[in-house]
Each structure stands twice: as C-alpha cells, then as structure tokens.
Amino acid sequence: MTAKVHPNVAVPPSLGQPPAVAPAPAPVTLTVWRKSLLFNGRGFTVFDARGDLVYRVDSYASDSRAEVVLMDAAGCPVLTLRRRKLIGLGLGSDQWLVYPGEETRRLPPLYAVKRAAPQYMRGGFGGGAKSMAHVAACSGGGAAAKTTGAGGYEVEGSYLRRRCTVYDERRRAVAEVRPKEAVVGSDVFRLVVQPGMEVSLAMAVVLALDQMFGKPSLLRSWSS
C-alpha cells in the first residue's frame, strides 16, 4: 500500500470559486438575575445562552463597602466598581469608577460611569431619548479618574423598565438591556452585547445603573 503524502495539506479551491468567508461575530446574550448564590446574600447571577454561569456578584447585608466586585464563575475578580463621591457638585454628580480585578488602591481606573444631569435625563437633547449615564475612558490619573474624550459610551432609556441601550462614540448600539420573555417582574432580564464592546464592561455598566436607579438596590449598603 502506498503511503499518503502530506495528509494535512489543504486542497486549493477550484478556479473561479470564491474563497470561504468567515461568519461575522455574533452578539453575546446573557441572562441577568438580581439574586446572589449565597444564602441570605445580595447580588447578581449571570448565565450565558447555554445556561452556564458566567459572572456573579455577592455580598451580605452587613457589608458596608462602597464597592461592587464582578467575579467570574470561579469567583475570581474581573472588575471592581468603586463609588467616588464628588463633594459639593449636587445630585447625580457621583461617579462609579471601574478598576481591573480587585485592586482599587494602586491601579488607575479604566472607566468612570457618571449619572446624567437631570435636564438630560428628561430628554434634554431636543426631547429625544432619555440619557441616563455617561461612561468615559480614564487616563492614568488614579483615583482622580481623569477622563479622556476617546472610548466613551452613552446610556439611554430606562433601567427601571429594563429597556436601555449603550451607544458608542459613533452612535452605534453596542449593548442593550431588555426584559426577558415569559418572565414576570424585573429581577430577571437580558443583556445583549454586540461585538466590539467587552462583555465584562457591559456588565459593569449594568451594575453601575443598578446602584444609580435600582429600586431598591440589592447592594443598598454599598450605595448609601
């Protein structure tokens, strides 16, 4: 028997046949449950389309830290949101700073999420969609959270109704919070993230929105 020569060499396509086109990246759809896996705990549990655990947020009622830690399924910190109060600037001026991992003291934040001013929350841009929050990329300014003009996002809609959209700087919808079909109540909803936005960042934005607009906030002690 003659041995096969170069068995792993791909056969070239026939002349005139167009090359195969790779499929476009698909959106990531998550199911977000406003409930901790811990007994008597508060937080979030997040599943992918197959029902596998992706992210979790856990805390106890006695926890008084002004921060929220987004963990992966194994409990490893992915991102940490820390509240930064801006003294003397009025209602809605507080920021939620997004840090990598769990280190919030030595590393600079990646993003700053800030609640929109009241006039813009009422549709101040010509009566259009209600602006809820701004997400700005941070320079290496540490806790000062110096924001840059690049890589920012705008959040519009209503978090209480679980109908809001995250737009990038080119006005493209990159993430969306939607009610989950056949579910009564607002504690279970969908988060759809388009290619081009990090899924963990989209989830961090949801956590910040919950602290700003959730009624009641599951992490009440962290946002007081």
pLDDT in tens, 51-91: 999 999 987 655 556 789 999 999 999 999 998 876 655 55
Q: Is 10 exposed, middle or buried (0-12, 13-18, 19+ CB in 10 A)?
A: exposed
Distance CA 180, CA 178 (A): 6
pLDDT in tens, 118-133: 655 554 444 456 899 9
What DSSP assignment string belongs to 79-122? EEEEEE--TTS-TT--EEEEEETT--SSSPPSEEEEEPPHHHHT
CA atoms within 13 A on the CB side of 144: 6
User: pTM here?
Assistant: 0.79
Break the chain into its structural domains and give their ranges: 28-122+130-214
Please choose, from the candidates 105, 121, 184, the residue with its C-alpha nearest in 3D space to the C-alpha of residue 158: 121
| CATH class of the domain comprising 28-122+130-214 | mainly beta
CB 159 within 8 A of CB 210: yes
